[in-house]
Amino acid sequence: MTVLVVAASLLIGVSLGVLGGGGSILTVPILVYLAGQGTKEAIATSLFVVGVTSLAALVPHARARRVRWRTGLLFGAFSMAGAYGGGRLAEYVPGTVLLVGFALMMPATAVAMLRGPRHGREPDRPASDRHGRARPEKGGPALVGIAAKGLAVGAVTGLVGSGGGFLVVPALAILGGLPMGLAVGTSLLVIAMNSFAGLAGHLTGVTIDWGLALTVTAAAVIGSTVGARLAGRIPQDALRAAFGWFVVFMAVLVLAQQLPPAAWTHPATWAVLGAGFGSGTTAVIASRVRRTLRHP
């Protein structure tokens, strides 16, 4: 089982290194279903793993000048406040509710993956100078918008153990005006800040198995190094599609484990799942059509 946990943990780092997010989507199910941890312990451990791994993945992005430090620190500061509050609140929410909430977040992550980067820009190929380094972008984020979005993303991070990468990247791209390459690199800074703030909130009521946490973290850090080196070499559309559908599969698996058998025979369950899948599929198709029309 330990070998399987370590192997799966490598995927956490690869995801963060290549895509700038997705680590927590893998970490919580790995810790719950492969390592046998309780939900709240797994969420707290996930925050530690994702936080450390994000810092490791941040280094190569920073060297390539794909990190906007001012925007990231500003967004991260507000996110940390929300993450700490979410972590404290999680102590009073049943573990099953947290895990179901986590599973319901997965389709949103899958849609973000399947839609791909905006404006057809690859996340690891921002505008660059003649030396191949990312150019600094002019302009600053709207403070009120950054504050509101940061608090919301942080609260989700602390509550369900999600680093919020696929919430942070769109926020940085839209509110901060960053190209996708800079948004991905900067998101790793925000994810790390969020994760450690959320962890601080959880530690008031959860005890972490530090031996397991450090083992998973070491494997994930190795994976993040590999992922950072692979960034730009793997076709991003193919990688995003494969990971997106994998997340959908994981969401179904988590829900199947948590919902009682009777829930699967209730029409309301299928109505909610159908609405979520339908809206997600529609968003993906619409995005592809717009991209095709824009770049025939």
For the record, the structure tokens of 7 come out as 């192997």
pLDDT in tens, 169-207: 767 776 667 776 787 788 889 888 888 888 888 888 888
- Residue 266 clears pLDDT 90, i.e. is over it: no
Percent of all residues in the chain with a pLDDT value above 90, rounded to a whole number:
8
Kindly calculate the radius of gyration of the chain based on its CA atoms and give it in whole angstroms: 18
Q: What is the mean pLDDT of residues 46-64?
A: 88
pLDDT band at 137 (very low <50, low <70, confident <90, very high): very low
Domain layout of the chain by residue ranges: 2-259, 261-296
Among 118, 61, 51, which Cα is nearest to 294's?
Answer: 118
Q: CA triplet 100, 15, 143: central angle to 5 degrees?
A: 75
- Residue 215 clears pLDDT 90, i.e. is over it: yes
Q: CA triplet 62, 140, 67: central angle to 5 degrees?
A: 5
The residue that leads in pLDDT, 33 or 146, is 33
- Residue 292 clears pLDDT 90, i.e. is over it: no
Return d(Cα 74, Cα 101) in angstroms, integer.
27
pLDDT at 268: 67
pLDDT at 209: 92
Question: What DSSP designation does 30 have?
Answer: I
Which residue is associated with the tokens 């698996």?
253
Return d(Cα 164, Cα 46) in angstroms, integer.
12
pLDDT at 151: 87
Query: Which residues are CB-neighbours of 248 under 8 A, at least 6 positions away?
Result: 106, 107, 110
| Phi, psi of 128, rounded to the nearest 5 degrees | -135, 165
Highest mean pLDDT among 29-38, 160-169, 276-285: 29-38
The residue that leads in pLDDT, 158 or 232, is 158
pLDDT band at 265 (very low <50, low <70, confident <90, very high): low
Q: What is the mean pLDDT of residues 142-157?
A: 79
| CA dihedral of 134, 138, 143, 146, whole degrees rounded to 10 | -30
pTM of the model: 0.68
Highest mean pLDDT among 63-72, 224-233, 275-284: 63-72
Highest mean pLDDT among 25-34, 166-175, 206-215: 206-215
Q: Which amino acid is at 83?
A: A
- Residue 212 clears pLDDT 80, i.e. is over it: yes
pLDDT band at 45 (very low <50, low <70, confident <90, very high): very high
The residue that leads in pLDDT, 101 or 224, is 224
Q: Distances in Å between the alpha carbon of 95 and those of 37, 39, 194?
A: 11, 5, 21
Return d(Cα 231, Cα 125) in angstroms, integer.
9
pLDDT at 52: 92
Query: Which residues are CB-neighbours of 205 under 8 A, at least 6 positions away?
Result: 40, 91
For the record, the structure tokens of 86 come out as 């979410």
- Residue 33 clears pLDDT 70, i.e. is over it: yes
8 neighbors 34 (Cβ within 8 angstroms)? yes
Return d(Cα 144, Cα 234) in angstroms, integer.
37
Q: Distances in Å between the alpha carbon of 130 and those of 120, 134, 135, 170?
A: 21, 10, 10, 27
H-helix segments, 91-142: 95-115
What is the residue-averaged pLDDT of the chain? 74
For the record, the structure tokens of 27 come out as 């970490």
For the record, the structure tokens of 203 come out as 């530690």
pLDDT in tens, 153-171: 788 777 776 656 666 776 7
Q: What is the mean pLDDT of residues 35-41?
A: 88
Q: Distances in Å between the alpha carbon of 52 and those of 34, 58, 224, 262, 295?
A: 21, 10, 10, 40, 39
Put residue 68 in one of left, alpha, beta given phi > 0 → left and psi -120 to 50 → alpha.
Answer: beta
- Residue 32 clears pLDDT 80, i.e. is over it: yes
